[in-house]
Structure 1
Amino acid sequence: MGDERLAIAIDSASEERPHRVCCRLCGRPLTGADSRRTGLGPTCDAKLHPPGPDIRSRRHEVAQDTLPGIDEDL
């Protein structure tokens, strides 16, 4: 079993063109590694997964009463 030859020559494997991957939403060919991995182009990915709201922009000051026993003069 260890002396058997490979069915495909190694030189012929390098001549093959890479498999063409298309966007699952719009069908355009994908070129980037991340896009090919997810199956979505950057534009379609942004449409399906919009960025979340920035919670830091929703902070606001709250008026509070002074705690009893604490001097305001400090």
Structure 2
Amino acid sequence: MSDEPLAIAIDSAPGASRRLVRCRLCGRPLTGADSRRTGLGPTCDAKLHPPAPDIRTRRHEVEQDALPGLEPSAG
């Protein structure tokens, strides 16, 4: 196996002029390497892929009756 990378990064070509890449959603020019690779700016990417809701904020304690047979015996 060779030590060459399998893919060439978008901005890695030395001396090559950077071609203008625009956001697929809003059309603004993209400057970041990740944005250029995905074709979406950070704002538009956040609109299409919102973060998952944090389920820990929805948890709450509920009062429950004791299970039959586990009640302390009065004796």
- Match of residue 18 from structure 1: 18
Structure 1-normalised TM-score? 0.64
Matches of 2:58 and 2:14, distance apart in 1:
54
- Match of residue 45 from structure 1: 45
Would you say how many aligned residue pairs link Structure 1 and Structure 2? 61
Matches of 1:50 and 1:42, distance apart in 2:
11
Q: Deviations over 1:13-37 (max 9, x none)?
A: 7432122211001111111121111
Describe the SS at the equivalent of 1:15. Answer: coil
Give how far 1:71 is off: 4.9
RMSD in angstroms over aligned alpha carbons? 2.2
Matches of 2:39 and 2:22, distance apart in 1:
7
Give the gaps of 5 or more residues in structure 1: 1-12
Matches of 1:14 and 1:40, distance apart in 2:
24
- The percentage of aligned residue pairs carrying the same residue is 75
2:61 maps to amino acid: E
Show structure 1 runs of 4+ deviating over 4 A: none
Structure 2-normalised TM-score? 0.63
Matches of 1:21 and 1:51, distance apart in 2:
25
Higher helix share goes to which structure? 1
Give the gaps of 5 or more residues in structure 2: 1-12
- Match of residue 36 from structure 2: 36
